[in-house]
């Protein structure tokens, strides 16, 4: 299972908790909880969610079943799920078997009962609905280094729902591929944890950008198909002029993992900024974070993005009593570049809303001008998965906007009756590059994709 998905599950567990430490009402259906009264105060699932919320950078430990067998008893409709779990060197404290689905189930409501000697209590009932994406089943604690085979039966009392339940958990036919993937989550207890990893920061950054930036429906475009300038290394040896230039650049930035999602767990990055540039980075980051927080208040559903930005900022803020570590400098630099791109996107979206809302403005003339255009980028990016590249639209008739001598003469020639020639076209005449920060097993590299974003239009 991709590191992306596990992190997203941890994020959803954090989001499920309200400020009072209980599950939010809008999270009950997502986790197949029948009602608030069905969650005791000492619920293992609730405790695991609280641990995930307290430990923002790690979350609980995870075991992936090495084998999954699913079968159905035709006469009774009872389903049997068998999960082979690998040995863990750690004791399984507060274990929760989480049945996660790629997407919300979008099916009818039904009550489902799961039964097993390894569950605690042995019988547990969940309420599946159209919003359900996760089914948590609390298990019994066990010692480490024990190979376990969890055998669980599932059934619904409604005869009309037996086939639907089978399709949800097993698929159309026994053994067919389905979109459910099981995980065993458990607490590490008092075991010492390693420091916060770049992986958790980058996953949070990916999630934040996905929440705040637009998502066009156009087919994704591979960045590898674009012309690039030679890559530049971003690390402790990077020149002060390079880093200062990037901090002051207004060009949009995307973050790419050329090694795929697995690189999230092993990628490392550091910077070694001189004191003056470090102070400038700190000030710019604070300004951009405050600016973005204010801008997000105007957007719908900004609560989750605001909490995500708070977590990102906490991983980047510099200590006052001692120099910031190289990893923290690196994260602060990436977050600054991300927020600059978000600010740019918000400016474009505000301008579009203002144009649509201004009913008194006369209709836009068909004169050659710059228009907004957002395209989809390849899937495995940290983010954003889109780029606002703009485009030029409109006529190039006399009086011509921003036309060069060739276009002016060509237009006069055509108006003189020579209709067989190509008429002047409205095209971009000035561009801005796209900055691609590529993170792979060898380090971090910056690649400029020149002439990517149209900035000015003219007739040619």
**pLDDT tens string 124-166:** 999 999 999 999 999 888 766 565 788 999 999 888 888 888 8
Residues 6 or more apart in contact with residue 27 via CB below 8 angstroms: 15, 16, 17, 33
Specify the pTM.
0.76
**pLDDT tens string 242-285:** 999 999 998 889 888 766 555 666 677 899 999 999 999 999 99
- Spatial separation of the C-alpha atoms in residues 228 and 210, rounded to whole Å: 25
**pLDDT tens string 336-353:** 999 998 988 888 777 766
Phi, psi angles (nearest 5°) of residue 159:
-60, -30
- Spatial separation of the C-alpha atoms in residues 220 and 216, rounded to whole Å: 9
- For the segment 36-51, the average pLDDT, to the nearest whole number, is 71
pLDDT at 177 (0 to 100) = 47
CB-side exposure of 124: number of CA atoms within 13 Å? 26
SS3 451: strand
- Spatial separation of the C-alpha atoms in residues 272 and 68, rounded to whole Å: 47
pLDDT at 115 (0 to 100) = 95
Q: Give Dmax over CA atoms of the chain in angstroms.
A: 91
- Spatial separation of the C-alpha atoms in residues 272 and 289, rounded to whole Å: 22
CB-side exposure of 296: number of CA atoms within 13 Å? 23
Confidence of residue 175 (pLDDT cuts 50, 70, 90): very low
Whether the link from the prior residue into 221 is cis, omega within 30° of 0, is: no
């Amino acid at each position: 299972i991709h590191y992306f998905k596990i992190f997203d599950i941890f994020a959803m567990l954090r989001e499920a908790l309200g400020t009072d430490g209980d599950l939010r009402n809008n999270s009950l259906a997502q986790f197949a909880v029948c009602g608030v009264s069905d969650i005791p105060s000492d619920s293992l699932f609730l405790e695991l969610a609280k641990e995930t919320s307290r430990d923002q950078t790690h979350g609980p430990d995870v075991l992936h079943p090495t084998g999954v067998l699913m079968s159905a008893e035709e006469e009774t409709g009872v389903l049997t799920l068998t999960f082979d779990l690998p040995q863990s060197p750690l004791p399984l404290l507060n274990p929760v078997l989480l049945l996660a689905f790629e997407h919300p189930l979008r099916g009818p409501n039904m009550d489902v009962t799961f039964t097993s000697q390894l569950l605690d209590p042995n019988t547990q009932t969940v309420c599946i609905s159209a919003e359900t994406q996760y089914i948590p089943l609390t298990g019994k604690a066990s010692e480490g280094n024990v190979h376990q085979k969890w055998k669980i039966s599932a059934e619904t009392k409604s005869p009309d729902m037996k086939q639907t339940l089978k399709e949800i958990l097993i698929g159309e036919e026994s053994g067919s591929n389905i979109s459910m993937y099981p995980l065993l989550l458990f607490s590490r207890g008092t075991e010492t944890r390693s420091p916060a990893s770049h992986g958790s920061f980058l996953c949070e950054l990916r999630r934040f950008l996905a929440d705040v930036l637009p998502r066009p429906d156009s087919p994704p475009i591979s960045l590898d198909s674009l012309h690039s300038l030679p890559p530049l290394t971003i690390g402790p040896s990077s020149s002060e002029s390079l880093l200062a230039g990037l901090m002051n650049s207004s060009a949009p930035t995307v973050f790419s993992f050329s090694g795929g999602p697995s690189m999230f767990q092993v990628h490392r990055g550091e910077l070694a900024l001189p004191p003056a540039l470090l102070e400038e980075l700190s000030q710019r980051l604070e300004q951009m974070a405050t600016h973005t927080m204010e801008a997000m208040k105007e957007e719908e559903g900004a609560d989750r993005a605001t909490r995500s930005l708070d977590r990102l900022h906490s991983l980047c803020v510099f200590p006052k009593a001692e120099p910031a570590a190289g990893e923290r400098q690196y994260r602060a630099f990436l977050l600054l570049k991300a927020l600059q791109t978000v600010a740019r996107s918000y400016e474009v979206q505000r301008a579009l809303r203002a144009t649509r809302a201004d009913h008194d403005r006369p209709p836009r003339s068909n004169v050659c001008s710059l228009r907004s255009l957002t395209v989809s980028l390849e899937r495995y990016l940290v983010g954003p998965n889109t780029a606002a590249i703009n485009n030029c639209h409109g006529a190039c008739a006399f009086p011509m906007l921003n036309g060069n001598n060739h276009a002016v003469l060509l237009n006069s020639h055509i108006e003189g009756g020579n209709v067989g020639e190509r008429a002047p076209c409205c095209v971009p005449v000035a561009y801005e590059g796209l900055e691609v920060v590529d993170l792979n097993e060898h380090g971090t590299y910056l690649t400029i994709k020149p002439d990517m974003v149209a900035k000015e239009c003219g007739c040619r």
